Amino acid sequence: MENLSVIILFLFVLFTLLGTGVWVGLALMGVAWVGMELFTTRPVGDVMITTIWSASSSWTLTALPLFIWMGEILFRTRLSEDMFRGLSPWMARLPGGLVHTNIVGCTVFAAVSGSSAATLTTVGKMSIPELRRRNYPERMIIGTLAGAATLGLMIPPSLTLIVYGVTTNESITKLFFAGIVPGLVLAGMFMGYVAIYSRISGKWSPDEEPRMSIAQKIQNSRFLIPVLILITVVIGSMYLGYATATEAAAFGVIGGLVLAASQGSLTWKTFTESLMGATRTSAMIALILAGAAFLSLSMGFTGLPRGLANLIADWDLSRFELLMVLLVFYIILGCFLDGISSVVLTMAVVEPMIRDAGIDIIWFGIFIVVVVEMAQITPPIGFNLFVLQGMTNHEMSFIARASIPMFLIMVVMVFVLILFPDIATWLPENIRQRPS
């Protein structure tokens, strides 16, 4: 009963602050401040300063702004146009045709971006006009783009996995490699859905693409070479043990600048815009992490994490039942908070439960990312829905309905992860890793 009162108090303060428009990071600090004032006699100001400084000065966190900057640089190059020219000849003959460029394009760009929003915007600007011009179903164009863009949260370098790794003090390199196979499996499930839908739908009548010879397809594939080289350098340097996540991110930034310069799109304006865009995004995430660190400390003083862990232990839930409870919990939470906020806000309570239940913390990182991906396309705060609305001028209800099949596929992916955990754990258990 005491734990319930504390939860209600914290939630009341949190949603009051969020409802009045206070930034998420500052709202977390406000809740933590209330908890410290009520449950400890320690000087709150001193504790807050120490905790925020410790959270902000983490060396592991250095990878975050670098990967964000790399994505911003590439967002301002001709990469998206080149990707479509390189991918479309190979996708045209598959069942579902060029709609697959949404999924494959998002998968490729996710591997150099790390951001769902950057992936969605870049690939959307490339594919939406082309697919519309060829008379593909509008709902399929919008739905696949909304769902596939979430792959930016899973396929490394993933900003959400970096935040999760910092929050749980786990290896970011291992988390990155844990996300590769599940990300590819999820992309394959999206493509399978498109192929089946194109065969059974009576509304599927796009314009036929002109046939190309193998030589012509290979010639067009040269446009993919720069981005594939960049992916190989960033991920390969980590996989082979030559670089930590932070060092690989630095390689990515240098590679992005070289790529932009080689395309002739690196001007002083694009350079400063990319730098300022990365600075704004990094500062926002760092503030959220600092607030979450202070909240974690405050909640420790209340005894809430331990109390909730004991409560769930008293329920005697199996691992599967616990995961189902958390699945529903994060889907509901994702209706109101963005993915990174959901992760940092809840880890102080959820992490002890997961460890006590004997669930692999690396595997759980991928589990939580899949669920957070759902939140990107879940009304009313689904961020990808807002981005798509701005790009297409469709009603929010239309975009949300178009995204439902992708949401359901992600739910299926959760059960695939539970049934076959090696999908996420085999690769990180078999990589060489340099100490951070």
Q: How would you write the pLDDT of the chain (436 residues) with one tens digit per residue?
A: 556 677 677 778 877 887 787 777 788 788 888 888 887 777 888 888 888 887 777 776 777 788 778 777 877 777 666 777 777 777 777 888 888 888 888 888 777 766 676 677 777 777 788 788 888 888 888 999 988 888 877 887 787 888 888 888 888 888 988 998 999 999 999 999 999 988 887 777 777 767 777 777 777 778 778 878 887 887 778 767 787 777 888 888 888 888 888 878 788 888 898 888 888 877 877 787 787 778 777 776 776 656 665 666 677 778 888 899 888 888 777 766 667 777 877 787 788 888 888 889 999 999 988 988 887 787 666 667 777 877 787 887 888 888 899 999 999 999 999 999 999 988 888 765 554 4
Quote the pLDDT of residue 427. Answer: 86
Nearest in space to 409 (alpha carbons), one of 95, 196, 199: 196
DSSP at 211: P
Residue 32 lies in a domain: no
What gap in Å lies between CA 385 and CA 426, rounded to an integer?
34
What gap in Å lies between CA 130 and CA 402, rounded to an integer?
19
Residue 83 lies in a domain: yes
How many independent structural domains does the chain possess?
1
Quote the pLDDT of residue 186. Answer: 93
Quote the pLDDT of residue 187. Answer: 92
CA angle 160, 365, 256 (to 5 degrees): 35
Three-class secondary structure of residue 328 per DSSP: helix
Quote the pLDDT of residue 188. Answer: 93
Check residue 157 and give left, alpha or beta (phi > 0: left; psi -120 to 50: alpha): beta
Residue 278 lies in a domain: yes
Residue 128 lies in a domain: yes
| Contact (Cβ atoms closer than 8 angstroms) between residue 154 and residue 110 | yes
Residue 12 lies in a domain: no
Which pTM does this prediction carry?
0.75
Quote the pLDDT of residue 308. Answer: 63
DSSP at 338: -
Q: Which domain holds residue 193?
A: 59-429
User: Which amino acid appears at position 112 of this protein?
Assistant: V
Quote the pLDDT of residue 306. Answer: 61
What gap in Å lies between CA 146 and CA 159, rounded to an integer?
18
Residue 16 lies in a domain: no
Residue 121 lies in a domain: yes
| Contact (Cβ atoms closer than 8 angstroms) between residue 61 and residue 282 | no
Quote the pLDDT of residue 46. Answer: 81
> Tokens for 341?
């906020």
Quote the pLDDT of residue 232. Answer: 82
Residue 6 lies in a domain: no
Is the torsion defined by CA of 270, 275, 277, 278 positive or negative?
Answer: positive
